[in-house]
Amino acid sequence: MSEKKSGFVALIGRPNVGKSTLINRLVGQKIAIMSDKPQTTRNRIHGILTREAGQIVFLDTPGIHQPHHRLGEYMVDIAENSMREVDLIVMVVDASQSMREGDSYVLDRVKNMHKNVVLVLNKIDAVAKEKLLAQIEAYRSLATFVDIIPISARTGEQVDVLERVIFDQLPEGPFYYPPDVVTDHPEQFIIAELIREKVLLLTHEEVPHSVAVGIEQLEYRGDRETLYVNAVIYTERDSQKGILIGKGGDMLKRVGTMARQDIETIFGSKAFLELWVRVKKDWRNREPMLRSFGFDKE
């Protein structure tokens, strides 16, 4: 009987290349929030994939970018610290776009880690084959990769190939988590992220990036049949608070309804969700507030 493989793998890339979509596809369910807006992921998301061959612990990291505030600096630090800790780096790029300055910026940091790297060209469902082949050759000339794999995280195309390549690169070792666990984040974190995802989906301009979510109460009742959640959406300005509440509370109701539906699907319980909006001025540049929201370098 062959030995099991296990290890830690960092998903790295600039914002909006599809890392969260990929991690959800790999583990088979939603654990990371998804949005077409950049910098959706702020913390490391641990996704756990268990197969007959072994276990992979994925770290979905914040997109590496040039930061403009303390929160942005923390996000980049989290991504770079993650690369130092893992057995393998999976660098994800958007194949539907030509190589950008941001991709080169990420690649420079990845090369500095001196780790084995698999390059993933995502979104191949939106790119012509000729363009894809040209991109593969361009990246091959810039760095040495263990493998270069074109995939579509959205449709699942070639994701099984990526999974096999990752297992091939991992050492023999024990399972770090029980086989039925797909993430090690607590329920409060997951629910807060689901709420923030709906804000990202429904609002525009600066509002989505000015938002943090705190869970003030989370309680199961009736032998875990019903989940009661009281959450606060924090933003930086009174004008943003007005947008989040909306006319007659319409926007807040839409956020709450969509988040509640996801909570019920993921947790398998009927959910009651109560939302509030509060202003914390300039919280993205205030380190005590960043720590209170769980944004740190660890």
The interaxial angle of helices 238-245 and 250-267, nearest 10 deg, is 70
Domain boundary among 135, 169, 203: 169
Domain that holds residue 115: 5-169
103 and 134 both lie in a single domain:
yes
46 occurs within a structural domain: yes
Domain boundary among 118, 136, 169: 169
The predicted structure's pLDDT at residue 241? 92
Task: Report how far residue 209's alpha carbon sits from residue 232's, in angstroms, rounded to the nearest whole number.
Answer: 16
162 and 196 both lie in a single domain:
no
Dihedral angle sign, alpha carbons of residues 165, 160, 173, 2: negative
260 and 140 both lie in a single domain:
no
Can you give the C-alpha Rg of the chain in angstroms?
A: 20
Mean pLDDT of the region 27-53: 69
117 and 153 both lie in a single domain:
yes
47 and 163 both lie in a single domain:
yes
The predicted structure's pLDDT at residue 297? 46
CB 107 within 8 A of CB 35: no
CB 22 within 8 A of CB 30: no
Maximum pairwise Cα distance, the chain: 64
The predicted structure's pLDDT at residue 134? 92
Mean pLDDT of the region 4-9: 92
- Comparing 157 with 69, which gets the higher pLDDT? 157
Residue 141: Cβ within 10 Å count: 7
Q: What is the mean pLDDT of the chain?
A: 84
10 and 141 both lie in a single domain:
yes
The predicted structure's pLDDT at residue 252? 95
136 and 220 both lie in a single domain:
no
Task: Report how far residue 209's alpha carbon sits from residue 73's, in angstroms, rounded to the nearest whole number.
Answer: 14
222 occurs within a structural domain: yes
- The CATH number of residue 18's host domain is 3.40.50.300
**Alpha-carbon torsion angle 242, 245, 246, 251, nearest 10:** 140
- 130-168: pLDDT as tens digits: 899 999 999 999 999 999 999 999 999 999 999 999 999
pLDDT tops 70 at residue 72: no
113 and 35 both lie in a single domain:
yes
pLDDT tops 50 at residue 73: yes
Residue closest to 31 by CA, chosen among 177, 232, 145, 248: 177
Distances (CA, A) of 278 to 200, 214, 235, 245, 268: 17, 10, 6, 10, 29
- 209-267: pLDDT as tens digits: 788 888 899 898 877 789 999 999 999 889 999 999 999 999 999 999 999 998 888 88
The predicted structure's pLDDT at residue 81? 67
- Comparing 70 with 162, which gets the higher pLDDT? 162
The interaxial angle of helices 187-202 and 250-267, nearest 10 deg, is 140
Domain boundary among 143, 169, 195: 169
- The CATH number of residue 210's host domain is 3.30.300.20
% of residues, the chain, pLDDT over 70: 84
Q: Specify the number of domains making up the chain.
A: 2
Tokens of 207: 């509002």
| Three-state DSSP class for residue 181 | coil
Task: Report how far residue 191's alpha carbon sits from residue 183's, in angstroms, rounded to the nearest whole number.
Answer: 13
CB 61 within 8 A of CB 79: yes
Amino acid at position 235, single letter:
T
